[in-house]
Structure 1
Amino acid sequence: MKKFILFTYLTIFYSAVIVNAQARKEIVIATKNVSVILTIGANNRVYQSYLGKRFVNQDDDRLIPGGKHEAYITGGMEDLLQPAIRLTHSDGNPSLELQYVSHDAKNLDDNVSETNILLQDPKYPVQVILHYQAFNKEDIIKSWTEIRNNEKGEITLDDYASSMLHFEAKDYWLTQFHGDWASEMKMQESKLTSGVKEIDSKLGTRADMYQTPVFFLALNKPADETTGELIAGTLAWTGNFKFHFEIDERNALRVISGINPYASAYKLKKGETFITPAFIFTYSTTGKGEASRNLHKWARNYGVLDGNKPRLTLLNNWEATHVNFDEKELVNLFDDATKLGTDLFLLDDGWFGNKYPRNNDKAGLGDWQENKSKLPNGIGYLVKQAEAKGLKFGIWLEPEMVNPKSELYEQHPDWILKLSNRNENYQRNQLVLDLTNPKVADYVYHVVVDMLVKNPGLAYIKWDCNRSMTNAWSPYLKDRQSALYVDYTLSLYKILDRIRQKYPHLPIMLCSGGGGRTDYGALKYFTEFWPSDDTDPLERLYIQWGYSNFFPALTISSHVTSWGKQSIKFRTDVAMMDKLGYDIKVSKMTDEEVKFSKQAVKNYNRLNNTIWFGDLYRIVSPYEENRMVVMYVNEEKSKAVLFNYNLNTRYKEVLNRVRLQGLDSHKQYKVEETNLVPGTKSNLAENGHVFSGDYLMTMGLNLTPGKLIPLTSMVIEISAAN
């Protein structure tokens, strides 16, 4: 009898759930494996009911209980914690309620769908549109918000997030990435506790020098590379950002992502619209590795300029000459590039300025004319000389900046961000130009475009930005100073848009003094970025490991330099893990080092398609062992490249066999060490042997045969034998 009563009760309960689900309005945003389900409550507000693994049976969506967490919580109402949006109406009222009006969903193509949800305050003509794009194959969701002021007067946005997500789990584990100049992208994991945790930036231009706008959030327990439920998130914004994590009294977590509202209250006049940057995220039940691969695929297809096209291998002159060179010396350096077999020669800082020549970092920024004593025949001559030797030619620019010792500073003191009644504050002896001023923005655009028009053979630009904003005040904005941080970034995007309309495929590196700008807001205009000025290969392994969590290999510029005391092989093997380049004085290299490097470039040219476009598997973390192992596998699973790096290993330390990942269990693979120093043989016991993918992923390889030597490396080519 009791069993019958219980059965009857459950039948009635689930029937009620199904009837309720059928009656309510449901909005589903879904990819191949991930779904977000929103529901409209009885109060006409939108709630997040679900975020997680997509159900095999889509009808099961209807069984999910209605949400209790509002999808985009407003300020000034009944919620007691941090809202996603907070504004002040034209009559001074600081409250906002957003009710559902309508939504539409459409397929943009056979892979991308877009859902737009219109919300409006019932008392005020303020509208908010929640935008979602779902990238089916990549399992990526991109969300952003549009805020419209239809009031008769001006409203002030105090908070204006791109995204708000809710989670209910036993525990929450946050992985964040922090650092400083030359020590970027340090990985740190911590358990979130009740209250608030924020990751943010207030630096203006080099906005992620200290904190990077990326994170992993694991649910219930820490995730590793292959196990654990988590989301990976990043904000497509090159300015100040903020991630807000807040656990409430019921242990529910809200995650708010967007522009940092610090000192950035944003005013909207009647009829104006503000569009936030996109928050990009993926969900994984199989650890960080899968989340990274999702982001990499999305980035190559949608997030990075020409993400599915080859990159150039370059030689930079910076370490060879710094700013002290002349035309003849540069032309001679072209021979060094041809010795190595690189595609391009990059002329770095120091080529410009006449009244105030750029002979150090104290003068010349802003005066972008060739220095007549260094380059009497101009850039065009260098382009032709490079082309005659089979090289492309590129050049360094820092167009957003100015030295006080420059003609530009003398002629246009009102073009500079600085406080009029206080001393100027310098970083690297320079100041920031006021890009919010249309005249300044037009000037920056013409610095780049006029140079390319004058020198049509220029094939590459390195775009630098070597300081953040301090003591900043805009003469142009006058009484709208709180718009400075936001409008600067928006103006930068408009400049880049104009440049890309004229030169849609010109390779440009996003430098920013190292890892000061690494985000998908900028990368849609750039082909790659400079992750750090620290090129010591040991340090670089940690830096490159960090960036690899969110950015594909072809975006991460990694150069062989003279930093560190490691062998040329170790330095080269580290750089080959990403987008290989050189910044080294070739004349100081031995004949054996030059011979090895030339062969290494040939090896890289053979392997780079797998490295650039393959799936990345991070197998052994340098944070967990005294070594690092990663491998790339192409889409067909016919080719893989494995990188093994021994770090500061200790005497008699034991490193176990390494199980490979990502191969086809049924295929046979030949294992061959490549990138060997001429005249040496591989120590790999399995070198030249053929194994099944199943064996390699189950039994693995012994990557430390014989005596364990610190700071040594292997590059192993794995090719399908059938």
Structure 2
Amino acid sequence: MPILWNETEKLFHLKTKHSSYIFCIAHGKYPVHLYYGKRLENTQGLAVFLNKLGGRPSVYAKSPEFIGKEDDFRLELVPQEYPFYGNTDLKTPAFSARYENGSRITNAVYAGHKIMDGKPRLCGLPSTYTESDAEAQTLELTLTDELTGLNIILSYTAYEETDAICRSVRVENNGEQTVDITSVMSASVDFLGADFDLITLGGTWTDECNITRRPLAFGIQSVDSKRGSSGHMHSPFLALAEKGARENSGEVYGFSLVYSGNFVAGTEVNEFHISRAFIGMNPFDFNWRLNPGETFTAPEAVMVYSGKGFGGMSRTYHRLYRTRLVRGKFRDKNRPVLANNWEATTFQFNEDKIIAIAQKAKEAGVELMVLDDGWFGNRNDDTTSLGDWFPNQEKLPNGIGGLAEKIEGLGLKFGLWFEPEMISPKSKLYEMHPDWCIHAEGRERNLGRQQLILDLTRQDVRDFIIGFLTDILKNNPISYIKWDYNRNFTDIGSATLPPERQSEVAHRYILGLYEILETITTAFPNVLFEGCASGGGRFDPGQMYYFDQYWTSDNSDAIARLKIQYGTSLVMPAIMQGAHVSAYPHHSLHRFVPMKTRGHVAMTGQFGYEFDLSKATDETIAEMKEQIALSKKIESVVHFGDMYRLDSPFETDCSSVEFLSEDKNTAVLFHCCTLGKINGAPHFVKMSGLDRASEYACEETGEVFSGAVLEDVGLAFRHSKDFESWIYIFHKQK
């Protein structure tokens, strides 16, 4: 079984396919972390070894024991499982609260546990799931503060085959007084030693998910968001990697948060070289009032240990998120090739223009035509009409239904853009409900992208959004929705919450968003939903629970996308990453990237087009047909196979990625040169994960290679031109 309880040693052992996570209950009270790493089949002597290894400094200790005697027990000196503020641990706590008498001390100790098959759902929050109880086991560890009546239930789910451990926290107020929760991490892990590198993903709009690697240092290092969403600047993720860990070697510990709002992910190293990793909701501007009898649930954190470098970690996240976080009918299906009109027309279009684009799209083999921003109200620029979700009659005289029917008459599916969470001050909705936006009474309402954010903490606002979306989707043949979100939180406040609950707005907003998404996606299971937040501004695991795919970045330049998609793939699978072939030269960078390369880069994600197809030449249409045929040939391997990153665009003048089918029978190799060289040496790309004893035939050249040769020698590429790319398909020979 994946979770073992040793009653004699008071020891919990959580096992996955390749990892063990072990902690004990010291002195019958305190959860003490013992080990996280490569799977241990026999734990005999673990506690004894750590006792001898520990040796607390004599200035503090009367005993050299690692855990120590209870009358001289210093939590500061032991690796903890879930530390509380106010006791003898002086590092960053996982939990803190304020009580009615002003005390901030929480002393919750072990009160019991239960182990169950399967995995319970989290109330009101997205999370990973099981399809049968045999897939995982869940441990619920109850810690109780007897003075206040507060219960903190730590939940651990061990996915044995999928190789991940998921953690969450539930707080129950069983006391008689109100409690204000001021911080609650979803996971906290203490490591003995600090010889790690910290890996995070940072960036900005059009430059998301740059990989940052820095050594751990004394003190606190962290990334976070205070923007109301997970944000462009940082992803809700961190990894600790041993020194020298690379793509396919070394130990890596990943921490990923299934949440779309304000978060923090960080580490702290103390003077005894204990390294604490923590991830959860951001305590900044957060306070949650918990009345007697109420429960608060924190988001889920997903922990992955890899003994095979970053690639091993990523493949575990990809498999888990692709199969046990994404839901619905599209989860296990290839998605349609789409064409979006935004970069072709922006706001300036009419029905005839969209039909002209759709006709050319159909001729090339595109399957879905998406109408982006500008179809509603008086929306001719970004200053007006968000919230007025009725067709612009000048642009669409036959309405959405009339256009959709014409698109479907061409043999294409029809998709539509929305930004449901926003409201324009210049709109009929704002005239009727000026208090429906996020705002602070008496303060100026600062605009972002000429818009305000609807207050999703309000039931009437949530009902309005659900109502108009339901009406449009019920009464029009719409197969796809692009759900956008284009500004950060400012002036945070709600007109309907009392003063003592104003610091709950940001989290209540996310809970309201999840409620809307759950309602709409459940009501319309046949609609493919794509998320967007000015590109990747809210591309996080919480969104993956509701959306079938996500627009990775507003930067569709193929060469820029090499880094963006590479960094995003550290956690997110290719099937989630929307990637389009854009205009030539690119509208923002003015780079002349060949159509072939633009197509190849987009095929390593969720394939589509975004330029003015109505002006496409016969030559372009012919090339599109070839690209779509190739994408269809490789999409099952790209979307459902294992991904191996071979050459990093962050470290080299090229990028190489391999996708390998689960049975190892088919491999797809993508390679792109960013900068050509005169008389440069050949660049060898070494593949990975193959059946080394078998032979693989290259479909494009007819050449046959052993798996060992492809892995150890590799394929030679000449980088003679800028922006040149290749895709090779290899088939295992029987």
2:598 is aligned with 1:571: yes
Tell me, in whole angstroms, the C-alpha distance in 2 between the residues paired with 1:521 and 1:326.
36
Aligned to 1:98: 108
Tell me, in whole angstroms, the C-alpha distance in 2 between the residues paired with 1:651 and 1:478.
69
- Deviation, 1:492, is 0.6
Matches within 5 A, 1:638-677: 638-673=665-700
Aligned to 2:246: 224
Tell me, in whole angstroms, the C-alpha distance in 2 between the residues paired with 1:38 and 1:107.
20
Higher alpha-carbon deviation: 293-302 or 474-483: 474-483
- Deviation, 1:502, is 1.1
Q: Which amino acid aligns with 1:341?
A: G
2:176 is aligned with 1:156: no
- CA displacement 1:205-253 (0-9 Å, x = unmatched): 3x3211111222113x131101111111211110000013100101110
- CA displacement 1:468-515 (0-9 Å, x = unmatched): 101222111131110011110011111111112212352111101111
Tell me, in whole angstroms, the C-alpha distance in 1 between the residues paired with 2:536 and 2:673.
25
Q: Which amino acid aligns with 1:215?
A: L
- Deviation, 1:282, is 0.4
Tell me, in whole angstroms, the C-alpha distance in 2 between the residues paired with 1:157 and 1:419.
23
Aligned to 2:343: 319
Kept in 1: contact 2:640–2:661 (CA 8 A): yes
Tell me, in whole angstroms, the C-alpha distance in 2 between the residues paired with 1:116 and 1:22.
16
Aligned to 1:588: 615
What is the DSSP-based 3-state SS (H/G/I as helix, E as strand, rest coil) of the residue aligned with 1:458? coil
Higher alpha-carbon deviation: 74-83 or 501-510: 501-510
- Deviation, 1:172, is 1.4
Kept in 2: contact 1:558–1:575 (CA 8 A): yes
Aligned to 2:582: 561
* Among 465, 478, 486, the residue aligned to 2:498: 478
* Among 143, 146, 154, the residue aligned to 1:130: 154
* Among 524, 527, 544, the residue aligned to 1:506: 527
Aligned to 2:235: 212
2:723 is aligned with 1:711: yes
What is the DSSP-based 3-state SS (H/G/I as helix, E as strand, rest coil) of the residue aligned with 2:544? coil
Tell me, in whole angstroms, the C-alpha distance in 2 between the residues paired with 1:136 and 1:59.
21
Kept in 2: contact 1:50–1:64 (CA 8 A): no
- Deviation, 1:437, is 0.7
Matches within 5 A, 1:453-532: 453-455=474-476, 457-479=477-499, 480-532=501-553
Tell me, in whole angstroms, the C-alpha distance in 2 between the residues paired with 1:451 and 1:292.
38
2:426 is aligned with 1:399: no
- Deviation, 1:43, is 5.2
- Deviation, 1:626, is 0.7
Aligned to 1:605: 632
- Deviation, 1:65, is 4.1
Aligned to 1:280: 302
What is the DSSP-based 3-state SS (H/G/I as helix, E as strand, rest coil) of the residue aligned with 1:542? helix
Kept in 2: contact 1:399–1:447 (CA 8 A): no
- CA displacement 1:24-69 (0-9 Å, x = unmatched): 2111222111111110111511111111111134657676647632
Matches within 5 A, 1:52-451: 52-57=37-42, 65=50, 68-108=78-118, 109-205=133-229, 207-219=230-242, 221-306=243-328, 307-353=331-377, 357-451=378-472
- CA displacement 1:164-204 (0-9 Å, x = unmatched): 11112351101111111111111111001101111110000
Tell me, in whole angstroms, the C-alpha distance in 2 between the residues paired with 1:649 and 1:129.
57
Change (3 A) 1:709 1:672: farther
Aligned to 1:24: 9
RMSD of aligned residue pairs (Cα, Å): 1.7
Kept in 2: contact 1:305–1:505 (CA 8 A): no
Tell me, in whole angstroms, the C-alpha distance in 1 between the residues paired with 2:412 and 2:526.
18
Higher alpha-carbon deviation: 478-487 or 419-428: 419-428
2:722 is aligned with 1:693: no
Aligned to 2:125: none
Change (3 A) 1:454 1:64: farther
Change (3 A) 1:394 1:111: same
Q: Which amino acid aligns with 1:461?
A: I
Kept in 2: contact 1:49–1:64 (CA 8 A): no
Kept in 2: contact 1:98–1:122 (CA 8 A): yes
Tell me, in whole angstroms, the C-alpha distance in 1 between the residues paired with 2:195 and 2:79.
18
2:58 is aligned with 1:34: no
Aligned to 2:71: none
Q: Which amino acid aligns with 1:24?
A: E
Kept in 2: contact 1:75–1:83 (CA 8 A): yes
Tell me, in whole angstroms, the C-alpha distance in 2 between the residues paired with 1:310 and 1:432.
34
- Deviation, 1:587, is 3.2
- Deviation, 1:319, is 1.6
The alignment covers a number of residue pairs equal to 682
- Deviation, 1:419, is 2.7
Aligned to 2:652: 625
- Deviation, 1:557, is 0.3
Kept in 2: contact 1:147–1:275 (CA 8 A): yes
Q: Which amino acid aligns with 2:536?
A: G
What is the DSSP-based 3-state SS (H/G/I as helix, E as strand, rest coil) of the residue aligned with 1:178? strand
Tell me, in whole angstroms, the C-alpha distance in 1 between the residues paired with 2:138 and 2:507.
26
Tell me, in whole angstroms, the C-alpha distance in 2 between the residues paired with 1:541 and 1:262.
34
Tell me, in whole angstroms, the C-alpha distance in 2 between the residues paired with 1:61 and 1:527.
44
Higher alpha-carbon deviation: 392-401 or 654-663: 654-663
Higher alpha-carbon deviation: 498-507 or 173-182: 498-507
What is the DSSP-based 3-state SS (H/G/I as helix, E as strand, rest coil) of the residue aligned with 1:35? strand
- Deviation, 1:372, is 1.4
Change (3 A) 1:155 1:375: same
Aligned to 1:537: 558
What is the DSSP-based 3-state SS (H/G/I as helix, E as strand, rest coil) of the residue aligned with 1:444? helix
Kept in 2: contact 1:31–1:135 (CA 8 A): yes
What is the DSSP-based 3-state SS (H/G/I as helix, E as strand, rest coil) of the residue aligned with 2:543? coil
TM-score by length of 2: 0.91
Q: Structure 1, unaligned stretches of length 5 or more?
A: 1-20, 674-686
Tell me, in whole angstroms, the C-alpha distance in 2 between the residues paired with 1:609 and 1:284.
25
Tell me, in whole angstroms, the C-alpha distance in 1 between the residues paired with 2:522 and 2:554.
30
Q: Structure 2, unaligned stretches of length 5 or more?
A: 1-5, 52-66, 68-77, 119-132
Tell me, in whole angstroms, the C-alpha distance in 2 between the residues paired with 1:336 and 1:426.
38
Tell me, in whole angstroms, the C-alpha distance in 1 between the residues paired with 2:466 and 2:177.
34
What is the DSSP-based 3-state SS (H/G/I as helix, E as strand, rest coil) of the residue aligned with 1:77? coil
What is the DSSP-based 3-state SS (H/G/I as helix, E as strand, rest coil) of the residue aligned with 2:730? strand
- Deviation, 1:529, is 0.8
Tell me, in whole angstroms, the C-alpha distance in 2 between the residues paired with 1:467 and 1:171.
39
- CA displacement 1:405-452 (0-9 Å, x = unmatched): 000110001101123323221111000000001100111111221111
Kept in 2: contact 1:55–1:61 (CA 8 A): no
What is the DSSP-based 3-state SS (H/G/I as helix, E as strand, rest coil) of the residue aligned with 1:160? strand
- CA displacement 1:106-147 (0-9 Å, x = unmatched): 221222111110110122210000001111112111101000
